[in-house]
Structure 1
Amino acid sequence: MIFDSWTGLARVLIVGPLAYLSLVVLLRVSGKRTLTKLNAFDLVVTVALGSTLATTLLSKSVALAEGVLAFALLVVLQFAITWLSVRFPTVGHLVKSEPSLLLHRGRFLDKALREQRVTREEVLAALRSQGAYDVAAVSAVVLETDGSLSVMTEKSDAALRHGTLSNVAGAHGG
């Protein structure tokens, strides 16, 4: 249970760095988009890469070449989906969510909070973390596609009116 064989340890010491190096090289070649701030789709790919690395390291039945091929397959699939989602909005809508407006001009949007399963306390915590202590003085709070909360102040509100910030689902719904 604690020790199986020296061969198993040697395999981890040899395969581990090679599998890790292969994964790093594939991620660098595939570009920054492969592991950005995580939305649900990116999280699945990241977990799958981690699981594949662990399996390649610890399972004697998985050869290094098979593990590297699995890494490459996941990276290519991630690249293909992101490439398609940039070029075809329908694909993008299938794999990514839209940002949601949770607070607008100091007023909580209770329907959006319920739909997104976010509490007022979580929004207030995001405000505090941005140094905003007066809800009435906040222009908007947006639940981003990666699950983070963005707080928009007067300056960002002016940028929104001038079209320099992306549209947010519900921004015009009041």
Structure 2
Amino acid sequence: MWFDDWSDIVRVLIVGTAAYVGLVALLRISGKRTLAKLNAFDLVVTVAFGSTLATILLSSDVSYAEGVTALILLAVLQFVAAMISSRLRLGRAVITARPTLLLHEGVILGERLREQRISADEIRQAVRASGAGSLADIAAVVLETDGSLSVISADRLGDGSALGGLSV
């Protein structure tokens, strides 16, 4: 339980170093989008990278070549999904969630909160975190595709073009 064999330790050191270097190289080659947190799919890929790296490090049943192949597969699938979602409207609808307007012109949209399982207290917290003290001063609160809340104050709304595509 505490110690089995020096060869296991050496394997973790050698394979772990190689896997880490391979993952860093793969991430540099595949671009910034691979680890972006733009939507839930991106989060799943990021977690899968970590899980795969841990498996390569700790499981002697998985060879280095198998592990690197799995990492490459994840990067390729992420690339394909990003291409589809950025170029095809239907692909984007399937792969990513749409942003949801939760507060409009100071009024909390209760039905939208229930649909998204967000509480009014969470809206108020996001408004406070933005530095505002009154919901009346807020033009919009949007639940973004990555799960974050964007708060747009009335004095910063401008022409409202950032809210394009969101239904009131």
Question: What TM bracket, shorter-length normalisation?
Answer: over 0.9
The gaps in structure 2 that reach 5 residues or longer are none
Gap regions ≥5 residues in structure 1: none
Residues 1:69 and 1:20: Cα distance change in structure 2 (over 3 Å): same
Looking at structure 2, the residues matched to 132 and 166 of structure 1 have their Cα atoms a distance apart, in angstroms, of: 19
- With 35-44 and 85-94 compared, the bigger mean Cα shift is at 35-44
Q: Give the C-alpha shift of residue 24 in structure 1.
A: 1.0
Q: Could you say which residue in structure 2 is the equivalent of 1:169?
A: 166
Alignment of 1:13-162 (within 5 A): 13-160=13-160
Given that 1:142 and 1:168 are in contact with CA atoms closer than 8 Å, whether structure 2 keeps it comes out as: no
Count of residue pairs brought into register by the alignment: 168
Residues 144 and 67 of structure 1: CA distance in aligned 2, closer, same or farther (over 3 Å): same
Distance 1:61 1:135 in 2: 56
Matches within 5 A, 1:4-19: 4-19=4-19
TM-score, structure 2 normalization: 0.95
2:164 partner amino acid: N
Shift of 1:166: 4.9
Q: CA RMSD in A?
A: 1.2
Deviation at 1:154, TM superposition (A): 2.5
Residue deviations 1:5-36, cap 9 Å, x none? 11111011111111011111111111111111
TM-score by length of 1: 0.92
Indicate the SS of the match to 1:158: coil
Per the alignment, do residues 80 and 166 of structure 1 end up closer, same or farther by CA in structure 2, a change over 3 Å counting? farther
- Residue 40 of structure 1 and its aligned partner are, at CA, apart by 1.2
For 1:159 and 1:24, the matched residues in 2 are separated by 42
Deviation at 1:42, TM superposition (A): 0.9
- Conserved? CA contact 2:105–2:154, under 8 Å: no
Cα deviation code 1:125-153 (max 9, x no counterpart): 11111101111111110000000000001
Cα gap change, 1:136 to 1:155, in 2 (>3 Å): closer
